[in-house]
Amino acid sequence: MSAPVPKSPPASSKGRSATMSAIRRRDTKPEKELRSLLHALGLRFRVDHRIETRSGRVRPDVVFTRARLAIFVDGCFWHGCPEHSRKPQVNSGYWGPKLDRNRARDRENVAALEADGWTVFRFWEHDDMPAAADQVAAAARR
């Protein structure tokens, strides 16, 4: 018998829950933009490619297997961007530790990938994606 999985607390107001879902939706948009820019540059890469590391399975947003490049586009809220992430004041007992864990896991994943010889790029969702694509392209062609 396993213990029941605690549920996330309900959003405390309609406004809050609308904000949260907007954040979630926006998360994937810069990834898509980066992928289509990389395609337009003539690059071919893997999406949803899992990499086994010493800290478990990591799934970067874009992977170049031969060049050993792992690219992440991190959402400002979920990954704690210093410019845009304010820790939610509501349910802070839930969100604080959760977001701290996200960040700790991000650091572990990067360290584990680098230990295996991967070059890791991490972009924030607020970053300029054309500039990010150029950076990645330069590394992929090296």
d(CA 139, CA 142): 5
Q: Please tell me what DSSP assigns to residue 6.
A: P
- For the chain, give me the number of helices (H) and strands (E)? 4, 5
Among 37, 63, 71, 76, binds Zn ion (CB under 5 A): 76
Among 29, 32, 84, 87, binds Zn ion (CB under 5 A): 84
> What six digits make up the tokens of 48?
């949803």
Q: Please tell me what DSSP assigns to residue 2.
A: P
**Smallest distance, Zn ion to C-beta of residue 75, A:** 8
Q: Which stretch binds Zn ion (CB under 5 A): 9-17, 65-73, 84-92, 115-123?
A: 84-92
> What six digits make up the tokens of 20?
């949260």
Fill in the amino acid letter for 106. Answer: D
Give 24 or 84: the residue with its C-beta nearer to Zn ion: 84
Give 58 or 73: the residue with its C-beta nearer to Zn ion: 73
Give 27 or 49: the residue with its C-beta nearer to Zn ion: 27
Binding site for Zn ion (CB under 5 A): 76, 81, 83-84, 124, 126
